[in-house]
């Protein structure tokens, strides 16, 4: 029997997965993935994402406005997010964050949205789920400023930024989530960042349907593949896979307290 493990970040409502969801969840279970968090990236999609979590006991959900969608979506309010957080299977706020790779023109709105999500995390007590791309300096600055203004809990989802942002996040007590990128051949610098991180601050995820780890790279990702990323994580930390899986399970339950099973 495969050790139990959690896919801490996936997008089960995306069309690449939604059309065969029962089969995908069955394959995840066969791979030891007993729990997953599906992420709503636009608040108007919250009812559909919530229904997935209500329909499948292995699935929890989180909601926010993705930074790449901020310019085209209504600005979320703290009340909007806190209202959604009343649902018992909603376990996190986000994903939110900063992405300057393609959408730097909405930089100011992204920063405003990020601060709204941080305040919602404080108000609800639910952890913040952060997306960061090509915005390391602003991200470290805002996370630190806001944490000084009032503490909150956070995971840097699909972490693939630089060592300085990793250090800043870890210094604030945040978590780093490992995606299939760590298994890409050219990701040695990222593997080195994770190797220096405390084991009790590491999660694993797929970000499916994107970023499938080898040997599935370039094809659709799905939650069952999270164990491939976790096996690479065990290698990075010089651990047995079962022990690494157990460590990430404990970390997940410490951060996502509503998802304890």
Query: Cβ distance 155 to 117 under 8 Å?
Result: no
Residue 157 to residue 101: CA distance in whole angstroms: 16
Q: How far does Cα 168 stand from its chain's mean position?
A: 18
Q: How many CA atoms lie within 13 A of 80 on its CB side?
A: 18
**DSSP for 48-109?**
HHHHHHHH-TTEEEEE---GGGGGGSPPP-HHHHHHHTTSTTEEEEEEEEEE-TTTGGGHHH
* Three-state DSSP state, 206: coil
Residue 243 labelled as part of a binding site: no
Residue 9 labelled as part of a binding site: yes
Residue 56 labelled as part of a binding site: no
Burial level of 202, CB count in 10 A (0-12/13-18/19+)? buried
**Residues sharing a CB contact under 8 Å with residue 75, sequence separation 6 or more, in sequence order:** 65, 109, 112, 113, 116
Identify the CA nearest to 172 among candidates 195, 213, 139: 139
Binding-site positions for a divalent metal cation read: 9, 11, 95, 131, 157, 207
Binding-site positions read: 9, 11, 95, 131, 157, 207
């Amino acid at each position: 029997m495969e050790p139990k493990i959690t896919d801490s970040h996936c997008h089960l409502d995306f069309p690449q997965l939604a059309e065969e969801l029962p089969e995908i969840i069955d394959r995840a279970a066969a791979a030891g993935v007993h729990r997953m968090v599906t992420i709503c990236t636009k608040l108007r999609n919250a009812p559909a994402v919530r229904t997935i979590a209500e329909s499948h006991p292995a699935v929890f959900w989180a909601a926010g406005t993705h930074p790449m969608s901020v310019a085209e979506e209504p600005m979320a309010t703290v009340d909007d997010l806190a209202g959604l957080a009343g649902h018992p299977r909603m376990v996190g706020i986000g994903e939110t964050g900063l992405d300057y790779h393609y959408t730097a023109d909405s930089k100011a709105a992204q920063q405003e949205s990020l601060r709204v999500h941080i305040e919602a995390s404080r108000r609800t007590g639910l952890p913040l789920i952060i997306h960061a791309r090509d915005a390391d300096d602003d991200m470290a600055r805002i996370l630190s400023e806001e944490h000084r203004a009032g503490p909150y809990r956070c995971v840097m989802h699909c972490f693939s930024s630089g060592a300085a942002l990793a250090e800043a996040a870890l210094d604030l007590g945040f978590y780093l989530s490992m995606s299939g990128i760590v298994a890409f051949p050219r990701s040695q610098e990222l593997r080195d960042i994770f190797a220096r991180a405390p084991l009790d601050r590491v999660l694993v995820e797929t970000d499916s349907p994107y970023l499938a780890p080898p040997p599935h790279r370039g094809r659709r990702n799905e939650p069952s593949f999270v164990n491939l990323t976790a096996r690479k994580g065990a290698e990075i930390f010089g651990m047995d896979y079962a022990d690494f899986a157990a460590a990430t399970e404990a970390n997940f339950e410490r951060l996502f307290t509503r998802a304890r099973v």
